[in-house]
Copies of this chain bind each other. A is one copy, B any other.
Amino acid sequence: MYKAPVDQIAFTLRHVAGLEAVLGEGRFGDLSGDLVDAILVEAGRFASDEIAPRAEAGDRRGATLRDGRVTTPEGWPALYRAWAEAGWNSLTAQPAVGGQGLPHMLHVATMEMWNGGSMAFAIGPTLTIGAVEALSAHGSQTLKQTYLPKMVSGEWMGSMNLTEPHAGSDLGVMKTRAERRDDGTYRIFGQKIFITYGEHDFTDNIVHLVLARLPDAPAGTRGISLFLVPKFLVSADGALGARNDVFCHSIEHKLGIHASPTCTMIYGDGRFGDEPGAIGWLVGEENKGLACMFTMMNNARLAVGMQGVAIAEAATQKAVAYARERTQGKAPGWQGAGMSPIVEHPDVTRMLLTMTALTQGARAITYACAHAIDMSHVTDGDEARHWAERASLLTPIAKSFATDAGVDVASLGIQVHGGMGFIEETGAARLYRDARIAPIYEGTNGIQAIDLVTRKLPLSDGVQIKGFIEELKAIARAVAASSDPAFGETPSRLEASLADLEAATAWLGKALADGRQAEALAGATPYQRLFGLALTGAYLAKGALADAGDGRRGERTALCRFAAENLMAETAALKDRIVNGAASLATARAVLG
């Protein structure tokens, strides 16, 4: 059973991502290390003791739809309410609307734990919190007053309605339409698909944020507006009124996250209300809906990255526990009586260490991204811009590297279990199934790579990426300067990987500058992976250099060395693919018909 890795999380937050320094500077007011620890311990308790025990049964039962009503697994509505009542939904929201105003790092750290307990559970709150962010940033005073306090407390949940059958990665072609009404409201008509927790029995009301197109809107993404559409209308005194003209038409039969209802939502077909049309309120300006969505999109992407970290952590815990328990054969050098635990077999050791290194690397990258977000909020001017850019740069890597790691680590986790891994009751299979959606939603990892290469590398004319690589090189130099033989070949390995990153970055920059768009895009995914691997090496080294006083420095150094000497060599292959792979990719396109 998953146990939230509170110590590991606290260590990564403080000594790798940068919280320790920030606490020392007092940038977050009276937030102290003790308070951080207390929050993490309490969240860990809830994730381990309340959420995790309900994950398997939730997966088995799944969510069901009958007569437009979605029923989540037994005990799940109560679980959600207990979670919200404990204040976990309001961690980072502003105090003015009932939030606790804590740094984003704590949101990310707790998100990892909820997802570690059950990804199907955690994805609901993830979207609510995204809706809170969008509404906080762009909603009118009235909308905010009416909806935010209850969405922050968790009394109502939110949903995000973007995708349509023909509009997924490309939202510009969406067809859901909005009509203006004289009273300032709008009527929404259309169909949205893949709406996570679009309908459920956790809360009395659900606040849908819906992208739609006005009749006179420009074509493409510049003609999309964002609307708030509550399931039940809300009267001036906050009481729930009539049912709005929106309902859940069907839910999907999915590979994983079974307990999370994935809904097709129908707006404005006349099932409810006096006249057809779901009543909506504009959020932000007309035709600026996509910009409003992007406000929370980066955070949502990072939140999905946390799902990758969480699944990787859960899969690693499960596999390590099994490999220490299960005996089979005799490993080389095994001196014990009888068969050796399979963890002693070098091939199993390799799988488990790879899982551990990828998990910790993904965690470090995602937390570093959250740290950058926090820093952008507590700084000004150039410094704020620097941190906002850093967060922008790290977001696609955090999302993609962590979610790919989730899939890869969950797959290795099954392999470690042998035949038992294929049996659903073992639980390793659920992680493998759940993990698979994360590289897809909130922008496929291919979309993340395009974003990384075409929008993030050019930030500040390349100054941001150059500066970041320099920081990473400084870590490599610090390892070398430590002269600790336990690091083995880490310094040269890290240096080589960072040189690969630098060369690939330069090549992509040149390709884009030369207008060789297709060539740059052909290398985007390998580049994203290369970046994530290099960061994994650098952050594991940073952690190994840190003196946390917990007596685990030797372990961290050993893991860092393992990653450096076993995983880092892949960066050369990735660089080669970026620099030399595009031509053959273009000519071989014909093979696909």
Contact = CB atoms under 8 A, between A and B. Distances in A.
Contacts of A163: 419
A411 B436 contact: yes
A173 B583 contact: no
B441 A419 contact: yes
A585 B572 contact: no
A353 to B, nearest CB: 5
A546 interface: no
Interface string A52-89: 00000000000000000000000000000000000000
A94 interface: no
A407 B411 contact: yes
A349 B415 contact: no
- State the number of copies, please: 2
A98 interface: no
Interface in A303-340: 320, 323-324, 327-329, 331-333, 339
A564 B577 CA distance: 10
A365 interface: no
A591 B558 contact: yes
A19 B182 CA distance: 78
A573 interface: yes
B432 A436 contact: yes
B353 A591 contact: yes
Given A332-B517, A486-B587, A253 B423 contact: yes
A414 interface: yes
A561 B577 contact: no
Contacts of A422: 252, 254-256, 436-437, 440
Interface residues of A, number: 98
Interface string A102-131: 000000000000000000000000000000
B419 A584 contact: no
B566 A255 contact: no
A302 interface: no
Contacts of A424: 253-255
Nearest to A338: B173
Nearest to A580: B565
Contacts of A446: 345, 347-348, 351, 415
A275 interface: no
Contacts of A591: 353, 356, 555, 558-559, 562
B418 A444 contact: yes
Interface stretch (A202-210, A228-236, A379-387, A521-529): A521-529
Interface in A181-204: 193-194
A558 B440 contact: no
Contacts of A589: 343-344, 349, 353
Interface string A423-465: 1110001001100110111001110011000000000000000
Contact of A518 (B332, B425, B436, B583): B332
A99 interface: no
The CB with the most chain B CB atoms within 10 A, among A445, A449, A576, is that of A576
A39 interface: no
Given A445-B415, A583-B488, A584-B566, A255 B429 contact: yes
Contacts of A489: 580
A291 interface: no
A168 interface: yes
A590 interface: yes
Contacts of A331: 518
Contact of A440 (B347, B421, B590): B421
A469 interface: no
Nearest to A486: B587
Contacts of A333: 517-518
Ranked 10 nearest A-B pairs via Cβ: A569-B573, A562-B588, A255-B429, A346-B522, A332-B518, A332-B517, A347-B446, A558-B588, A569-B576, A170-B329
